[in-house]
Amino acid sequence: MTKVWIQKKEMNEHFLDRLNRSLKIYGHICAIYFISKGTEGDYVEENKIFLQNFLITNNTYPLYLTFTYYADYETIQFTLDKLEITYTLNFLDEVQTYWTSNQHIHYHPPCFTIQIANSNELTLALEATFWIASQNEFYAISNSQNLFFSLETTYEFRRKKERSVPHFKTEKDTTFITIAHDGLGYYLFSNLEKYSTLESLCANLPKGTALEEID
Protein backbone atom coordinates (compact mmCIF):
# COMPACT_ATOMS: atom_id res chain seq x y z
CA MET A 1 0.00 0.00 0.00
CA THR A 2 1.39 3.42 -1.02
CA LYS A 3 0.39 6.37 1.16
CA VAL A 4 0.45 9.91 -0.21
CA TRP A 5 -0.47 13.37 1.01
CA ILE A 6 -2.40 15.67 -1.36
CA GLN A 7 -3.14 19.37 -1.02
CA LYS A 8 -5.12 21.42 -3.54
CA LYS A 9 -3.52 24.80 -4.23
CA GLU A 10 -5.07 28.08 -5.27
CA MET A 11 -3.94 29.60 -8.56
CA ASN A 12 -2.60 33.12 -7.92
CA GLU A 13 0.51 35.25 -8.49
CA HIS A 14 1.71 34.91 -4.89
CA PHE A 15 1.73 31.12 -5.12
CA LEU A 16 3.53 31.10 -8.49
CA ASP A 17 6.16 33.61 -7.31
CA ARG A 18 7.10 31.31 -4.43
CA LEU A 19 7.91 28.41 -6.77
CA ASN A 20 11.33 27.69 -8.22
CA ARG A 21 12.22 30.43 -10.73
CA SER A 22 8.94 32.35 -10.19
CA LEU A 23 6.85 30.30 -12.57
CA LYS A 24 4.57 32.05 -15.10
CA ILE A 25 1.48 30.52 -16.73
CA TYR A 26 -0.37 31.72 -19.82
CA GLY A 27 -3.83 30.29 -20.25
CA HIS A 28 -6.31 28.33 -18.16
CA ILE A 29 -5.44 25.93 -15.35
CA CYS A 30 -8.38 24.30 -13.58
CA ALA A 31 -6.46 22.69 -10.72
CA ILE A 32 -3.10 22.62 -8.95
CA TYR A 33 -2.16 19.89 -6.47
CA PHE A 34 0.82 19.34 -4.21
CA ILE A 35 1.49 15.59 -3.92
CA SER A 36 4.04 14.12 -1.53
CA LYS A 37 5.16 10.88 0.06
CA GLY A 38 6.12 12.79 3.20
CA THR A 39 9.38 13.95 4.76
CA GLU A 40 10.67 10.81 6.45
CA GLY A 41 13.22 8.29 5.18
CA ASP A 42 14.48 8.52 1.61
CA TYR A 43 11.60 10.77 0.55
CA VAL A 44 13.33 11.92 -2.67
CA GLU A 45 13.54 8.35 -3.95
CA GLU A 46 9.98 7.60 -2.79
CA ASN A 47 8.63 10.71 -4.53
CA LYS A 48 10.48 9.75 -7.70
CA ILE A 49 8.97 6.26 -7.68
CA PHE A 50 5.45 7.55 -7.04
CA LEU A 51 5.79 10.17 -9.79
CA GLN A 52 7.02 7.48 -12.18
CA ASN A 53 4.10 5.20 -11.30
CA PHE A 54 1.62 8.06 -11.63
CA LEU A 55 2.84 8.95 -15.12
CA ILE A 56 2.91 5.32 -16.22
CA THR A 57 -0.63 4.81 -14.89
CA ASN A 58 -1.90 7.79 -16.88
CA ASN A 59 -0.08 6.57 -20.00
CA THR A 60 0.17 9.85 -21.94
CA TYR A 61 3.07 10.26 -24.36
CA PRO A 62 5.15 11.95 -25.55
CA LEU A 63 6.30 13.68 -22.38
CA TYR A 64 8.89 16.45 -22.28
CA LEU A 65 11.31 16.52 -19.36
CA THR A 66 13.18 19.82 -18.99
CA PHE A 67 15.79 20.63 -16.36
CA THR A 68 18.63 23.06 -15.73
CA TYR A 69 22.07 22.10 -14.53
CA TYR A 70 25.35 23.52 -13.26
CA ALA A 71 28.40 24.91 -15.06
CA ASP A 72 30.01 21.46 -15.38
CA TYR A 73 27.17 20.14 -17.53
CA GLU A 74 29.50 17.72 -19.32
CA THR A 75 28.95 15.28 -16.44
CA ILE A 76 25.23 14.97 -17.13
CA GLN A 77 25.89 14.90 -20.87
CA PHE A 78 28.18 11.91 -20.32
CA THR A 79 25.49 10.12 -18.28
CA LEU A 80 22.74 10.73 -20.83
CA ASP A 81 24.97 9.73 -23.75
CA LYS A 82 26.06 6.56 -21.97
CA LEU A 83 22.41 5.59 -21.41
CA GLU A 84 21.59 6.52 -25.04
CA ILE A 85 19.02 9.07 -23.89
CA THR A 86 18.33 11.59 -26.65
CA TYR A 87 18.18 15.23 -25.54
CA THR A 88 18.49 18.81 -26.73
CA LEU A 89 20.75 21.29 -24.97
CA ASN A 90 20.27 25.06 -24.82
CA PHE A 91 21.66 27.79 -22.58
CA LEU A 92 19.58 30.27 -20.60
CA ASP A 93 20.05 34.01 -21.00
CA GLU A 94 20.75 34.65 -17.33
CA VAL A 95 24.29 34.69 -16.02
CA GLN A 96 25.29 32.76 -12.90
CA THR A 97 28.58 32.91 -11.04
CA TYR A 98 30.70 30.58 -8.95
CA TRP A 99 34.06 31.05 -7.24
CA THR A 100 37.08 28.84 -7.97
CA SER A 101 40.86 29.22 -7.94
CA ASN A 102 40.57 32.75 -6.57
CA GLN A 103 38.41 33.97 -9.42
CA HIS A 104 34.76 34.37 -10.33
CA ILE A 105 33.54 32.22 -13.21
CA HIS A 106 30.47 33.40 -15.09
CA TYR A 107 28.31 31.03 -17.12
CA HIS A 108 24.91 30.66 -18.77
CA PRO A 109 22.98 27.77 -17.13
CA PRO A 110 22.56 24.78 -19.45
CA CYS A 111 18.99 23.58 -20.02
CA PHE A 112 18.31 20.00 -21.14
CA THR A 113 15.09 18.68 -22.70
CA ILE A 114 14.37 14.96 -23.11
CA GLN A 115 11.46 13.76 -25.22
CA ILE A 116 10.00 10.60 -23.68
CA ALA A 117 8.06 8.19 -25.89
CA ASN A 118 7.11 5.35 -23.52
CA SER A 119 7.31 4.02 -19.97
CA ASN A 120 10.74 2.46 -20.45
CA GLU A 121 12.21 5.78 -21.55
CA LEU A 122 10.43 7.52 -18.67
CA THR A 123 11.94 5.16 -16.10
CA LEU A 124 15.42 5.56 -17.58
CA ALA A 125 15.21 9.36 -17.70
CA LEU A 126 13.95 9.68 -14.12
CA GLU A 127 16.61 7.30 -12.79
CA ALA A 128 19.31 9.38 -14.49
CA THR A 129 18.10 12.87 -13.61
CA PHE A 130 15.61 13.08 -10.74
CA TRP A 131 18.35 13.74 -8.18
CA ILE A 132 18.92 17.08 -9.95
CA ALA A 133 15.42 18.18 -8.91
CA SER A 134 16.30 17.55 -5.26
CA GLN A 135 19.20 20.03 -5.67
CA ASN A 136 16.59 22.71 -6.42
CA GLU A 137 17.46 23.10 -10.06
CA PHE A 138 14.45 23.73 -12.30
CA TYR A 139 12.84 20.39 -13.24
CA ALA A 140 9.55 19.95 -15.08
CA ILE A 141 7.63 17.32 -17.04
CA SER A 142 4.94 18.35 -19.53
CA ASN A 143 2.67 16.55 -21.98
CA SER A 144 3.45 19.15 -24.68
CA GLN A 145 6.22 21.48 -25.82
CA ASN A 146 4.68 24.43 -24.03
CA LEU A 147 7.66 25.76 -22.05
CA PHE A 148 9.93 28.71 -22.78
CA PHE A 149 12.23 30.93 -20.68
CA SER A 150 12.34 34.72 -20.61
CA LEU A 151 14.97 36.90 -18.91
CA GLU A 152 13.22 39.00 -16.27
CA THR A 153 13.98 41.01 -13.15
CA THR A 154 13.06 39.10 -9.98
CA TYR A 155 13.56 39.68 -6.26
CA GLU A 156 15.13 37.05 -4.05
CA PHE A 157 15.62 37.81 -0.36
CA ARG A 158 14.95 41.49 -1.25
CA ARG A 159 17.77 41.49 -3.80
CA LYS A 160 17.16 42.23 -7.46
CA LYS A 161 18.34 39.59 -9.93
CA GLU A 162 18.05 38.89 -13.63
CA ARG A 163 16.66 35.39 -13.97
CA SER A 164 15.45 33.21 -16.83
CA VAL A 165 11.85 32.67 -15.73
CA PRO A 166 9.96 29.60 -17.05
CA HIS A 167 6.68 30.26 -18.86
CA PHE A 168 4.11 27.57 -19.59
CA LYS A 169 1.49 28.01 -22.30
CA THR A 170 -1.60 26.07 -21.27
CA GLU A 171 -3.56 25.17 -24.37
CA LYS A 172 -6.25 22.48 -24.54
CA ASP A 173 -5.56 19.27 -22.57
CA THR A 174 -2.45 20.54 -20.80
CA THR A 175 -0.80 18.91 -17.82
CA PHE A 176 2.64 19.65 -16.42
CA ILE A 177 4.55 18.87 -13.24
CA THR A 178 7.25 20.75 -11.33
CA ILE A 179 9.24 19.47 -8.36
CA ALA A 180 8.91 21.03 -4.91
CA HIS A 181 11.81 22.41 -2.85
CA ASP A 182 14.40 19.74 -1.91
CA GLY A 183 12.40 17.09 -3.78
CA LEU A 184 9.75 17.00 -1.02
CA GLY A 185 7.02 16.26 -3.54
CA TYR A 186 5.70 17.73 -6.75
CA TYR A 187 3.10 20.14 -8.11
CA LEU A 188 0.61 18.91 -10.70
CA PHE A 189 -0.89 21.64 -12.91
CA SER A 190 -3.70 20.68 -15.29
CA ASN A 191 -6.77 21.80 -17.20
CA LEU A 192 -7.92 18.22 -17.83
CA GLU A 193 -11.34 17.19 -16.56
CA LYS A 194 -9.92 14.04 -14.95
CA TYR A 195 -7.83 16.19 -12.59
CA SER A 196 -10.39 18.96 -12.02
CA THR A 197 -11.42 17.78 -8.53
CA LEU A 198 -9.73 15.86 -5.73
CA GLU A 199 -12.14 12.99 -6.30
CA SER A 200 -11.31 12.72 -10.00
CA LEU A 201 -7.58 13.04 -9.32
CA CYS A 202 -7.76 10.22 -6.76
CA ALA A 203 -9.54 8.03 -9.31
CA ASN A 204 -6.49 8.37 -11.56
CA LEU A 205 -3.81 7.57 -8.98
CA PRO A 206 -1.84 4.29 -9.26
CA LYS A 207 -3.60 1.21 -7.95
CA GLY A 208 -2.87 0.55 -4.28
CA THR A 209 -2.57 4.23 -3.39
CA ALA A 210 -3.96 5.20 0.01
CA LEU A 211 -4.50 8.84 0.94
CA GLU A 212 -2.79 9.58 4.21
CA GLU A 213 -4.18 13.09 4.32
CA ILE A 214 -6.10 15.44 2.03
CA ASP A 215 -6.18 19.21 2.51
Distance CA 125, CA 190 (A): 22
Nearest Cα residue to 125 out of 97, 96, 154, 84 = 84
Distance CA 212, CA 6 (A): 8
* pLDDT tens, the chain, 215 aa long: 688 999 998 876 777 777 766 788 998 899 999 999 877 778 899 999 999 999 999 999 999 999 999 988 999 999 999 999 999 999 999 998 887 777 888 889 999 999 999 999 999 999 999 999 999 899 999 999 999 999 998 877 677 888 999 999 998 899 999 999 888 999 999 999 999 998 999 999 999 888 876 76
Q: 105 to each of 12, 21, 102, how far by Cα in Å?
A: 37, 22, 10
Q: What is the CB neighbour count within 10 angstroms for residue 119? A: 15
Strands 110-116 and 175-179: unpaired
Please give the DSSP secondary-structure letter assigned to residue 50: H
